[in-house]
Homo-oligomer: A and B are copies of this chain.
Amino acid sequence: MTEQKKEKARIGVLTISDRASSGEYEDLSGPAIESYLNDVLTSPFETSIRVIPDELDLIEKTLRQLCDEENCDLVVTTGGTGPAPRDVTPEATEAVCEKVLPGFGELMRQVSLEKVPTAILSRQLAGTRGSTLIVNLPGKPKAIHECLDAVFPAIPYCLDLINAAYITTNDSRVKAFRPGSK
């Protein structure tokens, strides 16, 4: 493990939605993610907030910027994970990731499936690009919350493994797990 860590984690929050980016409606999903992070994280962090349309090239470019130029430790996207023609977030994420972590999508679909049978339509995935973990979330604020609750316990250790920032959580909200020895 690298001992020298950044003092503040940087977290990208990327809303991908034609309608939110055009101002046709207010983006509620990005703020839901920010609010979740404020509730859960006890270590210092700052965010990079973006709202962009469902354009494959633009999503890829924005993800690369957040990873490579802004050195985000974690990038959380919302929107664009369904089967509709304009839904291309997973394609963009897979294109920029070096490693795909299929367990994230599997678990998020599983918890969403307890609420709605259409959870199987979500193609959300997660993966790593260098020292950044990218996680796709669904578009709806309520589903965002459920999915983050499911996967967040594994995120701090994942960031350790990819030499990203060391983050800590409020145990009463999310009990982060770090195996005793690796």
Contact = CB atoms under 8 A, between A and B. Distances in A.
A154 interface: yes
B121 A99 contact: no
Contact of A161 (B84, B100, B106): B84
Most B C-beta atoms less than 10 A away, residue of A119, A121, A133, A154: A121
Contacts of A154: 117-121
A82 B177 contact: no
A117 B161 contact: no
Interface residues of A, number: 40
Contact of A103 (B104, B121, B128, B175): B121
Taken together, the copies of this chain in the complex come to 3
A-B complex: 4 closest residue pairs judged by Cβ atoms: A103-B120, A117-B153, A84-B161, A118-B154
Interface in A134-180: 151, 153-154, 157-158, 161-163, 175, 177-179
Contact of A118 (B83, B106, B110, B177): B177
B120 A151 contact: yes
A23 interface: no
A58 interface: no
A121 B177 contact: no
Given A83-B158, A84-B162, A158-B83, A103 B122 contact: yes
A84 B158 CA distance: 8
Interface in A71-104: 82-85, 87, 91, 99-104
A10 interface: no
